[in-house]
Amino acid sequence: MPPWDFDSPHKQDLTKRRSFNEGFALIEAAHDATRRLYCDVLRFWRRCSLASCKRHRRCCGDARECLMRGLIFVPQSQRFRAQQLVIDGGPRRRTPATHAEWYVRRSNFKSVATWPLG
54-77 per-position pLDDT tens digit: 888 888 888 888 888 888 888 888
CA dihedral 43, 49, 50, 56 (to 10 degrees): 30
What pLDDT shows up at residue 8?
A: 61
Please give the Cα distance from 26 to 20 (Å, whole number).
Answer: 10
Which pLDDT value is given to residue 3?
A: 57
Chain segment 28-50, per-residue pLDDT in tens: 999 999 999 998 898 888 888 88
Q: For the beta carbon of residue 43, count every other beta carbon within 10 angstroms.
A: 15
Distance separating alpha carbons of residues 34 and 42, to the nearest angstrom? 12
**Dihedral of the CA atoms 80, 70, 104, 20 (nearest 10)?**
-160
Distance CA 82, CA 42 (A): 7
Amino acid, res. 68: M
CA 112 – CA 83 distance, rounded (Å): 10
Instruction: Give SS3 for 12.
Output: coil
Long-range contacts of the stretch 4-12 (C-beta < 8 A, 24+) = none
Q: Tell me which of 7 and 94 has the higher pLDDT.
A: 94
pTM for the model stands at 0.78
Mean pLDDT over each residue of the chain, to the nearest integer: 84
